[in-house]
Amino acid sequence: MLKALDKVGFDFIEVGFHNHDYSLFDKPPFFENSQMIMSTNAMRVDYEFSESKDFKKLVMNEARIACFDIDCLNDFDENVSKIKETLKYVDPLLRHTNIEFLNFFEAYNKNSEKMVEILKIALKNGAKWVVLSDNDYKILPEQLEKTITAIKTQVDIKNIGINCHNKFGYAIDNSLMAIKCGVSYLKGSVNGGDNVNFCNLIPVMALKMKLKTNIESLRDIMSFNKIFK
């Protein structure tokens, strides 16, 4: 599966919750086009990295790129502590670290100043990308455009990513709007993801945006059904 995704030409392939099977991380495949990102446990203040088998495998892996999740609806000060403590420990050990901010737009609607502040804190403490995730919050493309336009006056757009969900049918529209606003790091899936809830990258890239893509390799996506069986 990973080799098929690499052949298509995705810049990054995020592999999640590896604590169930370490074989992939013991001998990671060679990628011609892609880099592997490991989706790790959610941040928490009392997390003991030195005792974590997951994290030891991550550090030993050639990729050494991780994405941590943090829920913006939780206590702000506690989230700040989680970010600072986690990045202080992992930043010297990894090539780079991303942080995905769950429920970001809902939290931003409640307190925009604090949400901008926490993005700045994450980047200042070593995060490479701050990924804005809408989760279950119903946000329209026009609202998303207004939000990102406001944020990028205070946070460098080159460090902002987006992960749009499709529970309300706006994932593709919102992803396109984010790219229009200057976002260049777009998360999604080629098979729907869990609950068929993520943005499907294929129509985004090949059908809607009419960008130059490795379109012939997209034919290989059809073989994924066989891979998954």
Q: Nearest 5 degrees, angle CA 147-CA 153-CA 158?
A: 90
Q: Mean pLDDT, to the nearest integer, of 207-213?
A: 56
Per-residue pLDDT, averaged over 161-190, amounts to: 87
Lookup: tokens for 196: 């068929």
The runs of H, that is alpha helices, within 42-133 are 53-60, 76-90, 104-110, 112-124
What is residue 228's three-state secondary structure?
Answer: helix
Residue 148 has a pLDDT of: 98
84-111 tens-digit pLDDT: 988 988 888 888 999 999 999 999 999 9
* Residue 123's pLDDT band (cuts 50, 70, 90): very high
What would the pLDDT profile of 68-86 be if each residue is shown by its tens digit? Answer: 999 999 999 999 999 998 8
Q: How far apart are CA 222 and CA 229, in angstroms?
A: 13
> Tell me, what CATH number does 156's domain have?
3.20.20.70
The strand pair at 160-163 and 185-187 is best described as parallel
Domain residues for the domain of 33 are 2-228
46 pLDDT more than 60: no
Whether residue 65 has pLDDT greater than 90: no
pLDDT above 60: residue 179: yes
Looking at the structure of the chain, the number of domains it has is 1
What is the arithmetic mean of pLDDT over 143-150?
97
**Which pLDDT does position 158 carry in this prediction?**
96
Is pTM beyond 0.85? Reply is: no
